[in-house]
Chains A and B, each alone.
Chain A
Amino acid sequence: MGAMTGKNLIEVEGLKKYFNVGGGKVLKAVDNLNFFIREGETLGMVGESGCGKSTAGRTILRLYEPTGGSVRFNGTDIYKLSPGKMKAMRRDMQMIFQDPYASLNPRFTVSDIIGEALDIHKMAGSSGERKKRIEELLDLVGLNTDHATRYPHEFSGGQRQRIGIARALAVNPKFIICDEPISALDVSIQAQVVNLLQELQDRLGLTYLFIAHDLSMVKHISDRVAVMYLGKMVELADSEELYSNPIHPYTKSLLSAIPVPDPEVESQRKRILMSAEGGGPIRSADEKTEETSLVEVSPGHWVAMPH
């Protein structure tokens, strides 16, 4: 967990991303998200598959155009930026992707992959400088510098994810969205990558939005955790507080699904099942979903309540 300053680096307000699924129906993938991330903090974001976590991450980086709302980076609303300014802004915000097999262009060498951002932003004056920077980045993520001329298919999953991390770091970003960076990796490699991410956060003062569905890993890495359900945020609290004192029924249900590595306790564990209200997130365009808003039940602990 990084050194936090009080300042909010990212402020997300009323963020919405709807997809047209045809037949007058929309998929409310992300519906009215409100949260902030402090500088140097790690905010974990959990929820089941398809709850809109990844869409939220991609919309925050403006890889998808939002349906509504705003994202402020250091006070600047990034959705109002011109294409030129947005391109410059992309140096500050980067992403690490879920699937290390799909996130590296198979026709690029490692040095092309890591160097691409340097080329786009013309950050390397000469080819020598470019090479030096790429080697520096490889070293930073614990890869050999002679890997630079290799192709992605020659690497293991863990190594590929390191290449993905080096690529994200190439532009010296302040904020990185980690979109389930470990869920495609072996358990033994997961810890390595998480430790690397934490080490990099300490060294470079990074701010993370850590999207995952592995609850215990999120607890380990996050300062605060947000729980998403059907495109909405249902609970947000410090990770200790959230795990010891969940309030929203969905959070309770989710936490009750964590297996305990103790057979005695595990055999006693009871799953709390929740009946899904009102089906999935696909609604007809004008249908009103139940309005909820986050209420602060104790300092820093927010829960969605119907009003």
Chain B
Amino acid sequence: MANDNITNKQSLPALTAADFEPVNINERESEVIKRESLTAWRDTWERLRRNKVAMSGLVALIVIIIASILGPYVAYWVHGYDYQTNDLMATNQKPSALHWFGTDDLGRDMFVRTWSGARISLIVGVAAALIDLLIGVIYGGIMGYFGGRVDTIMNKFSEVLYAIPYLLVTILLLVVFEPSLGTIILALTITGWINMSWIVRGEIMKLKSREYVLASRSMGAGTGRLLFRHLLPNASGPIIVTLTLSVPNAIFAESFLSFLGLGVQAPISSLGSMVENALTGWMYYPWRMLFPAVLISVIMLAFNLLGDGLRDALDPSLKNK
């Protein structure tokens, strides 16, 4: 064996300088980045797109939003009735070609009422969430950025507010003011912003000791630049997730208040009041409860799926923890 190896080696042709060629590593060239440049948002979108569950939530939401905008108009064009047109000769009808979702006890079309109810729910949910966002970011931003005594006092105040049951506050408010869309949104936001402010406070506290914030301070950056260029953009992930997850909470709260009769008043429809209305005869006319109840569930599920997906997409490191 050993001899074979030796003879093999000897039979190789001798190498000369001409057999080699320099690799010519250009240091500058090796530093070139070939990957397509993606902003943080594009990256997030790419990750979200690959998450089938979250995407199905997103698609469901888009469909529901379009349907709640167009649904009532479509029914009006096709059949000529709106959410309060009643036909006392056709009460409690089963779903049919004329009434796609059936009719209620006053002979009003359930298809129109379901989608215009969803519209109310979405408006309340999104408006309440956006107001929570505004107040929560400002209040939480001040707590987190200034810290110390300011933080202690403001945080205690929000804790006290949080300790009051929100249903109590809401019912009191709705007793004092006329129940209307605006009153419901006000009632929901009075305590709803607290959660957002705590999220923002925690993020800002965590981020403000990061070295890039110190670097910016060492260059002489002021409070405005630190907050709006460094701290809030980097806290945007958790803020967006909290925002997305607070919409279904507000929608459910609105439905719940409407169910109790404290929501928008008849004849305007709301998913919650429709469920309450259907309660009396649900053994005989189950579709009257089915459509609004299923829609509330789907809206909430879709927002929650999207919110979870966004959390994973915005911070991939959290996914496997």
Give residues in A with beta carbon < 8 Å to B: 58, 61, 63, 86-88, 90-91, 93-95, 97-99, 102-107, 116-117, 120-121, 142-144, 146-147, 149-151, 154-155, 159, 164, 167, 171
Give residues in B with beta carbon < 8 Å to A: 27-28, 31-33, 35, 37-40, 210-212, 214-221, 225, 229-230, 233-234
Which of A116, A121, A171 sits near B216, CB closer than 8 Å? A116
Tell me the bound Cα distance from A208 to B38 in angstroms.
36
| Nearest-CB residue, chain B, relative to A162 | B31
- CB-CB under 8 A for A143 and B37, given A90-B220, A95-B218, A103-B211: no
| Nearest-CB residue, chain B, relative to A104 | B212
* Contact present for B214 and A167 (CB under 8 Å): no
- CB-CB under 8 A for A103 and B221, given A144-B32, A151-B37: no
Tell me the bound Cα distance from A107 to B219 in angstroms.
18
Chain A residues whose CB sits within 8 angstroms of the CB of B217 once the complex forms: 63
Tell me the bound Cα distance from A99 to B221 in angstroms.
20
| Nearest-CB residue, chain A, relative to B212 | A105
| Nearest-CB residue, chain A, relative to B219 | A117
- CB-CB under 8 A for A150 and B33, given A106-B40, A120-B225, A144-B28: yes
Chain B residues whose CB sits within 8 angstroms of the CB of A117 once the complex forms: 219-220
Tell me the bound Cα distance from A98 to B210 in angstroms.
11
CB distance from B223 to the nearest CB of A (A): 11
Chain B residues whose CB sits within 8 angstroms of the CB of A107 once the complex forms: 40, 233-234
Tell me the bound Cα distance from A288 to B38 in angstroms.
56
* Contact present for B234 and A95 (CB under 8 Å): no
* Contact present for A97 and B211 (CB under 8 Å): yes
Chain B residues whose CB sits within 8 angstroms of the CB of A147 once the complex forms: 31, 33
| Nearest-CB residue, chain B, relative to A117 | B219
- CB-CB under 8 A for A116 and B219, given A97-B211, A143-B31, A144-B32: yes
Tell me the bound Cα distance from A121 to B217 in angstroms.
12
Tell me the bound Cα distance from A61 to B211 in angstroms.
14
Given contacts A63-B214, A95-B215, A103-B215, 8 further A-B contacts (CB under 8 A): A95-B218, A97-B211, A97-B214, A103-B212, A105-B216, A143-B31, A167-B215, A167-B219
CB distance from A208 to the nearest CB of B (A): 15
Chain B residues whose CB sits within 8 angstroms of the CB of A95 once the complex forms: 214-215, 218
* Contact present for B37 and A116 (CB under 8 Å): no
| Nearest-CB residue, chain B, relative to A93 | B218
* Contact present for B212 and A151 (CB under 8 Å): no
Tell me the bound Cα distance from A65 to B220 in angstroms.
14
Q: List 14 A-B contacts (CB under 8 A).
A: A94-B218, A97-B211, A105-B212, A107-B40, A116-B221, A117-B219, A120-B219, A143-B31, A144-B31, A147-B33, A150-B37, A151-B40, A154-B35, A167-B215
CB distance from B316 to the nearest CB of A (A): 12
| Number of inter-chain CB pairs below 8 Å | 77
Chain B residues whose CB sits within 8 angstroms of the CB of A88 once the complex forms: 220
Which of A90, A104, A151 sits near B39, CB closer than 8 Å? A151
Chain B residues whose CB sits within 8 angstroms of the CB of A87 once the complex forms: 220
- CB-CB under 8 A for A171 and B40, given A63-B214, A143-B31, A144-B28: no
Chain B residues whose CB sits within 8 angstroms of the CB of A146 once the complex forms: 32
Chain A residues whose CB sits within 8 angstroms of the CB of B28 once the complex forms: 144
Chain A residues whose CB sits within 8 angstroms of the CB of B211 once the complex forms: 97-99, 102-103
Tell me the bound Cα distance from A149 to B33 in angstroms.
11
| Nearest-CB residue, chain A, relative to B231 | A105
- CB-CB under 8 A for A154 and B212, given A120-B219, A144-B31: no
Chain A residues whose CB sits within 8 angstroms of the CB of B225 once the complex forms: 120
Tell me the bound Cα distance from A178 to B28 in angstroms.
25
CB distance from A140 to the nearest CB of B (A): 14
Chain A residues whose CB sits within 8 angstroms of the CB of B39 once the complex forms: 151
CB distance from A279 to the nearest CB of B (A): 26
Chain B residues whose CB sits within 8 angstroms of the CB of A142 once the complex forms: 27
Top 3 nearest A-B pairs by Cβ distance?
Answer: A103-B211, A87-B220, A90-B220
* Contact present for A90 and B218 (CB under 8 Å): yes
| Nearest-CB residue, chain A, relative to B28 | A144
| Nearest-CB residue, chain A, relative to B216 | A116
| Nearest-CB residue, chain A, relative to B210 | A102
Chain A residues whose CB sits within 8 angstroms of the CB of B220 once the complex forms: 86-88, 90-91, 117, 120-121
Name the residue in B40, B215, B221 with the highest tally of chain A Cβ atoms < 10 Å from its Cβ.
B215
Tell me the bound Cα distance from A105 to B233 in angstroms.
10
| Nearest-CB residue, chain A, relative to B233 | A107
Chain A residues whose CB sits within 8 angstroms of the CB of B35 once the complex forms: 154
Chain B residues whose CB sits within 8 angstroms of the CB of A90 once the complex forms: 218-220
CB distance from A24 to the nearest CB of B (A): 18
CB distance from B207 to the nearest CB of A (A): 10
Chain B residues whose CB sits within 8 angstroms of the CB of A86 once the complex forms: 220
Which of A94, A104, A159 sits near B31, CB closer than 8 Å? A159
| Nearest-CB residue, chain A, relative to B225 | A120
Tell me the bound Cα distance from A90 to B216 in angstroms.
11
Chain B residues whose CB sits within 8 angstroms of the CB of A104 once the complex forms: 212
Tell me the bound Cα distance from A102 to B215 in angstroms.
10
- CB-CB under 8 A for A171 and B219, given A106-B40, A107-B234, A154-B35: yes
Chain A residues whose CB sits within 8 angstroms of the CB of B229 once the complex forms: 105, 116
CB distance from B238 to the nearest CB of A (A): 14
